[in-house]
Amino acid sequence: MRKLRVLVAMHEVLVPPPDAEKLPPAETWEYQMELDVVRTLREIGHDVRVLGVGDELKPVRDAVADWKPHVVFNILTDFHDVVTYEAHFVSYLELLKQPYTGCNPRGIVLAGDKALSKQILAWHRIPCPAFAVFPLRTKKARLPSRMQFPAIVKSAVQHGSAGISQASVVHDDKELAERVEFLHRTLQTDVVVEQFLPGRELTVSILGNERLEVLPIWELWFDKLPEGNEAIATSRVKWDVAYQERIGLRTGRARDLGKELEERILSICKRTYRALHLSGYARIDLRLDTEGRPFVIEANVNSDLSPGEDFPESAKAAGLDYGALLQRILNVGINYKPAWMVE
């Protein structure tokens, strides 16, 4: 393994302080992923610099021009606090002819728009729940006749379970209209309404560009979920550690799927990755309905690399420790061929 110059691009507010490694976990949780990525890249022998990205692109251009990194390890999730600008930041790296880790701009756009991605998956006959889109201009949402309740209401573009709560699962047109109006008002985005599928929640993590490495299927369990609550990954489930403990949240390798179903799930996930033109690495979220049939919910590009999250944990189950995973992500990024490299 050769020593690389790695420029780690992260949000300016999440740059770990110089003494971060001496601080207790309770004080570093907000930037724990950034800290772990930087520390591990150094431990495996790379020359690492941190670039805190704010609202300007000039510091990015200057850092690339002055240091000439072999690769930018990109862990930004938005730019100017706009989620859809995540793709534009990566496009800027391509304009600089700078190799980077993670997904390409087109894949970010396609996967990041839940409405567009579902239309693409449906065209490719990849199973996904029935859905309807309600743009911001919608006056009063009603469920189309081809769908039935219960349904789940989501932002069309936000990440990290933003706007998802137990109230997101609606059971009649009144609840639907109220929830759509709430998301339009609070998040200012278009809304996607999906057929809600009670059942098991799975994730499949994938590495690669043309050749794909599919990691073991992972599952989410709620051991102590209050009666009447749906087993969904709400914003509170995603970010509230105390709440996670209270509801008995666990993740681990999915069990008792059977060989045929497991192979079907992995095939669906690889088809999803390719249909959305993804590269680098991503996590595909699925649900099994009550009959055990898999449906793709969404694809999450540049998924969370915090130790303990699905992607690193499934990599560990496949024999890749954290350092080996980050090295694999670097390799895949360096080997990606953007438009300017194609003859």
CATH number assigned to the domain comprising residue 256:
3.30.470.20
Cβ-based neighbours of 261, under 8 Å, separated by 6 or more: 292, 294
The residue among 195, 211, 227 that closes a domain is 195
Model pLDDT, residue 21: 84
In a domain, 249, yes or no: yes
Based on the domain organization, do 202 and 329 belong to the same domain?
yes
Based on the domain organization, do 255 and 305 belong to the same domain?
yes
Q: Where are the beta strands (DSSP E) in the chain?
A: 5-11, 47-53, 71-74, 131-134, 151-155, 169-170, 191-195, 201-208, 212-214, 218-222, 249-253, 281-288, 294-301
Domain encompassing residue 165: 130-195
The residue among 141, 163, 195 that closes a domain is 195
Confidence (pTM): 0.92
Query: Which residue ranges of the chain lie beneath pLDDT 50?
Result: none
Model pLDDT, residue 340: 60
Based on the domain organization, do 156 and 167 belong to the same domain?
yes
In a domain, 109, yes or no: no
In a domain, 117, yes or no: no
- CA neighbours within 13 Å on the CB side: how many for 173? 7
Based on the domain organization, do 181 and 48 belong to the same domain?
no
In a domain, 322, yes or no: yes
In a domain, 114, yes or no: no
Model pLDDT, residue 157: 85
Model pLDDT, residue 199: 87
Q: How many domains does the chain have?
A: 3
Model pLDDT, residue 224: 83
Based on the domain organization, do 325 and 205 belong to the same domain?
yes
Model pLDDT, residue 342: 56
In a domain, 279, yes or no: yes
